[in-house]
Structure 1
């Protein structure tokens, strides 16, 4: 089953661009915070932030055969992440350890929501089935975090934390696809899916909800 292609076009490229930018920056922040917690220098911080911000999107572009890669076509964001890495030590000195942890969790949740729905929407535009599109969205959103944790010598969060993570992405992607199928405005569908994922993830962390073992 394919969703009607005309429902996915129109102003979609603009809002996708905005959401990708926000998602990239959100994941970059989570990468910077995690790298500084490991006491990495500026180069190590940049590597972790870059991999976190662009890892999922690069895998998505490879699977969908999209060229050039997002970070190649928008090198300004690579430079911005490098500047963030250079200034990370000063910025994080001002923030307490508790706030830093909260910042990383919040940024990661925002990036999870935005990358999930953008990955799903791009897969639908490529005429993938809804099932494949949802899986593409999940891959897009979780891969950067997996690389971040591996580079920081940690077990990936998606494996060590029983609090719903990919499950939140799955639910939000289904919300997005459902609204698209109902011919809702794409801006509304994308935002609803992203907000569902971000809010669900933050609520899971806040209240300690766990998946059954």
Structure 2
């Protein structure tokens, strides 16, 4: 893999994990949770989907065990939750968080699909594994905070964008397109689709 592509994917991964954990911080702060609760909610949001994927695919060690630096950053941020929340409020706008979240949705969903294909899962199963990886962290976050999961009460396409993007990755993989570029193309599609549906306020029929 070209070093620049490696760096680009690493940066996207870091942005995605931080975006998911920040959404956990915001929800925990809204619920007035203490440092322990904040850490658990942020960690579950960032790694919940990937952990369930690894359990279903019998992959060990879990992703967050292999990459403990991310866990340590979330832990430190949780210890100083009020300061962290104030810094987030000042530095990160809602628009920036939306873009980062869309990157996370794309990258996590496509990576989940890729790992499922590597495990010789059927196409549809692989796509659903990717969608689970991308959206289930948010589901766990909402359940821990005693909320109806956002994807069940917000009719704007979210999981749908991931579903279509994962199929794009599967088709590119089927024609033996370069894996790295397949990841980037499918992730970019999910990112653009998510932002476009949000901007145009597109909603799924009830």
Matched, 1:125 2:118: yes
SS at 1:32's partner residue?
A: helix
- Check whether the contact 1:15–1:187 (CA below 8 A) recurs between aligned residues: no
Q: Give me the whole-angstrom Cα distance separating, in 2, the residues matched to 1:40 and 1:184.
A: 46
Question: Could you say which residue in structure 2 is the equivalent of 1:66?
Answer: 59
Q: Is 1:49 the equivalent of 2:49?
A: no
Q: Post-superposition shift, 1:148?
A: 0.7
CA shift for structure 1 position 22: 4.2
Q: Which region of structure 1 is more displaced relative to structure 2, 60-69 or 191-200?
A: 191-200
TM-score w.r.t. the length of structure 2 is: 0.86
TM-score where L is the length of structure 1 = 0.84
Q: Which of 106, 109, 116 lines up with 1:116 in the alignment?
A: 109
Among residues 93, 98, 102, which one is paired with 1:105 in the alignment?
Answer: 98
User: Which whole-Å CA distance do the structure 2 matches of 1:155 and 1:144 have between them?
Assistant: 14
Quick check: 1:16–1:118 contact (8 Å CA) kept in 2? no
Whether 2:140 is the aligned partner of 1:147: answer: yes
Pair 1:172–1:56, CA change in 2 (3 A): same
Give the RMSD, CA atoms, in angstroms: 2.4
Does 1:34 find its partner at 2:27? yes
Gaps of 5+ in 1: 1-9
Aligned residue for 2:200?
207
Structure 2: gaps of 5 or more residues: none
Q: How far is the alpha carbon of 1:179 from its aligned partner?
A: 1.8
4+ residue segments displaced more than 4 Å: 14-17, 19-22, 94-97
Counterpart in 1 of 2:85? Answer: 92
Q: How many residues align?
A: 201
